[in-house]
Chains A and B, each alone.
Chain A
């Protein structure tokens, strides 16, 4: 039994288990998607149905609600495993905690956040987003949402031992989401106003890269300390 290939197949096994759990009954994915659809459709009632106003706020609304849907689905990312003891097993696996955090974040992104990015254009139609905005909306969500899962993973790991840590997690990570939100919405706004969205997308990608490094390291450290 060689060590290298087994680590990658352990990683895949964990990603697949977490995705299966996320899509099973009581899993977070469908709830997050439902939250996304309903919360976005509340805005026309809140700000009025004028197409120009909705078109103006569409990028921001979709990004903010996608972000909230992501946080809502993240609060038990590690907590369920912590409470039933399977986090012990994950820690003792050959993956190491950074690998565990990476696999769980990837599973969360694939099962929960990616569907939000795919559903976003349909909601943009309801909000009268100008045609030029669609490709960039999807592109910005694809580039930016991994950062949402990664930064959220920090909050989830820090509050893993806190009973009812959900609200606390909101307080911890929403401020950290500000750069992602600024660059993501900025890119779509630029596309809608016919200016160049590429600088915004590049900054968004840079944010995601920083979030990858910081997010995985901080999550692994927080989990290690929580297991003591």
Chain B
């Protein structure tokens, strides 16, 4: 694969306890506990609106938590939040500029995250994982939605980060690309990486399951204090 000798810190651990989160004026989940450590795969399942995306965005630091605690241990350090230089997040939107070629999009992403310029071979290898190698110099505006989605997924192998946050990564992928994604995830776990993925699809990688439905706030608990807005 792309970084043959890369091994992430095996001590890295991310834990959350009694987490509560509010978004769009309502409690999305409450009392959520989870733990992942180096080499783990955690899949988030649950109904629409059960807070899978919100959970990922909370881990990434976009959405503030209103209750509970997150502890991140990495390299002997303890932090109350995940360091953004340790994560790659790919959400529903693919973050590509239609007028730019895939090569320019990816190169900009690499420079944005690391400040460096990627080697062309690195870009080629990352693109080949999702069968995008021949499209590198095409403007993204001519891509199909599946190709755009794969272009977004290409970021995971392209920039070396220990923690991968994926929102619905399998949507629109054919069988070959699903297999490629599963292989990529398994390789990442073998290197000590951590993957948290929200998905409606059945498990395709061995790992833990977090069912978001069990953390739904009970009706009527949003009383006068602060949950009312």
A: residues with CB less than 8 A from B are: 1, 5-10, 13-14, 17, 20-21, 24-26, 83-86, 88-95, 227-228
Q: Chain A CB within 10 Å — which of B87, B91, B108 has the most?
A: B108
Q: How many residues of B contact A (CB 8 A)?
A: 27
A17→B108 CA distance, assembly (Å): 8
Interchain CB contact (< 8 A) of A10 among B23, B95, B111: B111
Chain B interface (Cβ within 8 Å of chain A)?
23, 57, 60, 62-64, 84-85, 87, 89, 91-97, 99-100, 108-109, 111-116
B95 close to A228 (CB less than 8 A): no
Main secondary structure, interface of A, reads helix
Contact yes or no, A85 B112, CB < 8 A: no
Would you call B91 and A10 a contact (CB within 8 A)? no
Measured between C-beta atoms, what is the minimum distance from A24 to chain B in Å? 5
Tell me the complex Cα distance, A132–B89, Å: 56
Q: Which of A20, A26, A92, A228 contacts B113 (CB 8 A)?
A: A92
Residues of A within 8 A of B91 (CB): 85, 88
Instruction: List the B side residues contacting A5 at CB < 8 Å.
Output: 115
**One of A10, A13, A24, A92 near B87 (C-beta < 8 A):** A92
Min CB gap A122→B, angstroms? 30
Q: Are B115 and A94 in contact (CB under 8 A)?
A: yes
Distance in Å: Cβ of A160 to nearest Cβ of chain B: 14
Closest to A14 in B: B112
Are the CB atoms of B95 and A86 closer together than 8 Å? yes
Number of CB contacts from chain A to chain B under 8 A? 77
B61 to A: closest C-beta gap in Å: 8
> Which chain B residues lie closer than 8 Å to A86 at the CB level?
95-97
Q: Is the CB of A228 within 8 A of B64?
A: yes
Complex interface: chain A residues within 8 A of B23 (CB): 228
Given contacts A83-B93, A84-B94, contact A228 B114 (CB under 8 A): no
Q: Which of B84, B89, B92 contacts A94 (CB 8 A)?
A: B84
A216 to chain B, nearest CB (A): 19
Pick the residue among A1, A6, A84, A90 that contacts B97 (CB under 8 A).
A84
Q: From known contacts A10-B115, A92-B89, A227-B62, infer whether A84 and B95 are also in contact, taking CB-CB under 8 Å.
A: yes
- 29 chain-A/chain-B pairs, Cβ below 8 angstroms: A1-B114, A1-B115, A7-B115, A9-B111, A10-B113, A17-B108, A21-B100, A24-B99, A26-B99, A83-B93, A84-B95, A85-B92, A85-B93, A85-B94, A86-B97, A88-B62, A88-B91, A88-B95, A89-B95, A89-B109, A92-B84, A92-B87, A92-B89, A92-B113, A93-B84, A93-B112, A93-B113, A94-B84, A227-B62
